[in-house]
Structure 1
Amino acid sequence: MNVKGTKVVEFLLSKYLNISKSNDQYRRLGLILITILSCTAVSAFFTFYNLVIDYYPPLFYVDLAGTLLGGVSLYIFLRFRWILLASFILILMVTGVCFMVMVDRNNLDYSLAWAFVAPLISIFLLGYLYGTLYSLLYLAFVMWLSGSNLGVWQPAPWDRDSFSNIIAIYLLLFMLSCYYEASRRYAHQLLQESNDKLRTLASTDALTGLFNRRHMEDLLLNSEKSLFIIMADVDNFKNINDEFGHAVGDEVLISLGKIMQSVAGTDGTVGRWGGEEFIIAINASHEKEVMRFPQRLLEAVSSHQFATGRPVTVSLGCAFHNAKEHRATLRSVDEALYSAKTSGKNCYKLVKYSP
């Protein structure tokens, strides 16, 4: 199915059924619509073929009736949104026309090949269960017709009509298969995007866009690298909320998150620990380098112009993280942070070795 074909389906579903590509019904309705359009187009072609190219009145009237029923099915589908009725009308049209062709032409013109259209279209239109039952019922009729003529029908010549039938069947099944595959890939893409969003939401703080506590806990517990962690707490944050309101308080937290990301760079991971607390995990392969981060962070925060119109400061507790003693390390960092808060704030305290 080419891009134009999928665009036509997308346009019709959007205009008449108000169904967008993101709707969970888009794929099913798209398959039904493309089946209606394709089968009606094939029936219209053979109406023209049996009238103009190879005049044969019996099949001309059969195909004309099929084309009209296809149009009725399309009208009911788009105008009234009676999906099930439109599907039943079309499946009866397709299998009825194919069966009439087989009855009229027997095994001439490779007409029996039209029986292969029924299973695919039945499942597309009626779903797996009812489509399977309908296909088996149709198979019984085909078996009866062909079985009752064993030894009666003679070998069929390969001629223009045979060629036309085989090509038409092939193109119809090919087009429907391509659209099915395109819709399957798109549905899979939507599923992947949805899963990615869920993973992001599960690990991201909604306000700041930083990693949340759960993600940071997993990082600390599972990291094979030596890490230096900085726990940051906003000084007098309650006063900011009380004086300027929670909206300004939220802006302060968002700005602090950006500052911390800027200071940490590619060497560190920043997360919101909860409330006005943040945590930074920095690659500690070079001890002397990481020791510069706390002071740089204090200076970056105190020099920033916040929405409060006055300086905002943070207190920091720092330690080298030991994954085997994760809880003990966090307690040590928390104690260091408390020490920084009680020592005048806007400073950092370091626990050089975790217990």
Structure 2
Amino acid sequence: MVKAAYLHIPFCEQICHYCDFNKVFLQGQPVDEYLQSMNDELKNTVEAYPPTQLKTIFVGGGTPTVLSIQQLEIFLISINKYLIPRDKGLEFTFEANPGDLSEDKLKLLLDSGVNRISFGVQTFDDNLLQAIGRTHRRKDVFQTVELAKKVGFTNISVDLMYALPNQTVASFKESLDLAFSLNVEHVSAYSLIIEPKTVFYNLMRKGKLQLPTQENEASMYELLMAEMSGHGFIQYEISNFSRKGFESIHNLTYWNNEEYYGIGAGAHSYVDGKRITNAGPIKKYMSLVETTGFPYVETHSVDPKERMEEELFLGLRKIEGVSKSHFYEKFGIDIQTVFVNQINEQIAKGLLEEKDDFIRLTHKGKFLGNEVFQAFLL
């Protein structure tokens, strides 16, 4: 059963140097026509796979808030039309760049059911912001978060990054201190990963990208966990921290290996036991929706073996880990029967541990998560 919906707005006014998400420059793009295609895809999707247990909606990008207020209104009407009825506890998140949101846009979002804002802060160091291709500055973060609170938002998340070019442990500590001063409910913090087809990738290949050492990156992550705990944030996933009760329901849908819609160019869905990939290029996406009703370019039926692999690969990202009893209920087989060798190997390395009903990462394992996850791909 579908638990979540992700909707992708691929337009940006500036392309960040590290970003490999599906995105295009806003100028000259058929934005209105794209929103109509999203409306049509959404309508066809909910008819094909009715959302009986929808708990969370997430609008990401790109930069969703580059839409004009008129475009935002049309888009939000479409979401409300096809993803209702919604229970009152539904989480509805909108990604935003600091500095992009006017009071009118924020009021429109709130009045349209959006109850959670996720700001892409990344760092509070203005020099670093410029170096990574961000258009906002430190002052914009404080002004926009304050404005969101004034309008009535009570669930605000900020994204931070570490291991950025020339970033020091001290400068990351300053960003954490400033993030805490915002008094928000949720923080996501990710280390920089250099992806192909990005500005940073090209600079790295030319030897022009000065990155922190692995030791400094590990020190930043250690600092992150300690500071979050010291300020009352619960680490519920490798890179995510929240006040009690403010965990991201949307992200947990992925890590719990549950089904979700993916609407928009380049989006991915997991519905009816199938993983589906949408066309990425805007024109191809729109053309497929117009001619076939769906923009699918790849559909893969997930077999039981893959589902069990994904249960571990995704579930071990959660700090609580993977429930042995839930695994049995879901698949009708003991987790130890399927993965006994992998579990024992990772326990012997000190990367996994068993705690009551759960198999979870150790403190050491949090630093080597990708190595642990890969071990469960049979």
TM-score by length of 2: 0.20
Which of structures 1 and 2 has the larger relative contact order (alpha carbons within 8 angstroms, sep 6+)? 2
Greater Rg by CA: 1
Query: Please, what TM-score do these two structures have when normalized by structure 1?
Result: 0.21
Q: Could you say which structure has the higher helix fraction? A: 1
